[in-house]
Amino acid sequence: MAEILLFHHVQGLTPGVHELAERLRSGGHTVHTPDLYDGRTFTEMSEGAAFARAQTDRDEVVDRLVADLPESLVHAGISSGVMSAQRLAQTRPGAAGAVLLEACLPVSGEWAIGPWPDGVPVQVHGMDDDEFFAHEGDLDAARELVATASDAELFTYPGSGHLFVDSSLPSYDAAATDLVVERVLGMLARL
């Protein structure tokens, strides 16, 4: 069974993020859900984004957090949480895989972390009309990742909701989330 490190989105470690983690645990996996906001959650994305921008030591906090965890983690993130998950998957030795939900960073160009590491499977999931994922470059970055990595999958879902995997938010899409969980569990079973 896999050990997963799941980073929350910009609104914090919400009940919906906990529920998603439980759904992955039900597949027999260990899921860590660090709270990078020290218990704070935000009802509006703009409030969470303002709080996140004020955190100047996020990478250091994340690096300390993973120091006591095994190297062979599956790094997962939802939206803004993808920044930490993808950075770790691409730079921390021994990554077992990555699950990038509703965001994807470039693997080439000026803002890229670098190429995707060989032997690290990755799945990217997002809605095909999401204003952030589909219209701000993440979908293009995901397509490039899939085209250049040896074991990468991109799944898009019909709709425009952002944070659609969080059951505690109005943008939640139960049918799409069921499919995300099924596909992620399928990937985890192959590890």
> Looking at residue 19, which CATH number applies to its domain?
3.40.50.1820
Distances (CA, A) of 91 to 32, 86, 98, 118: 19, 8, 12, 12
pLDDT for the residue numbered 85: 97
- Owning domain of residue 175: 3-190
What are the pLDDT tens digits along the chain (191 aa)? 999 999 999 999 999 999 999 999 999 999 999 999 999 999 999 999 999 888 888 889 898 989 999 999 999 999 999 999 999 999 999 999 999 999 999 999 988 989 999 999 999 999 999 999 999 999 999 999 999 999 999 999 999 999 999 999 999 999 999 999 999 999 999 99
Q: Which of 99, 162, 35, 48 lies closest to 15 in space, CA to CA?
A: 35
Within 10 angstroms of residue 159's Cβ, the number of other Cβ atoms is 17
What total number of domains does the chain contain? 1
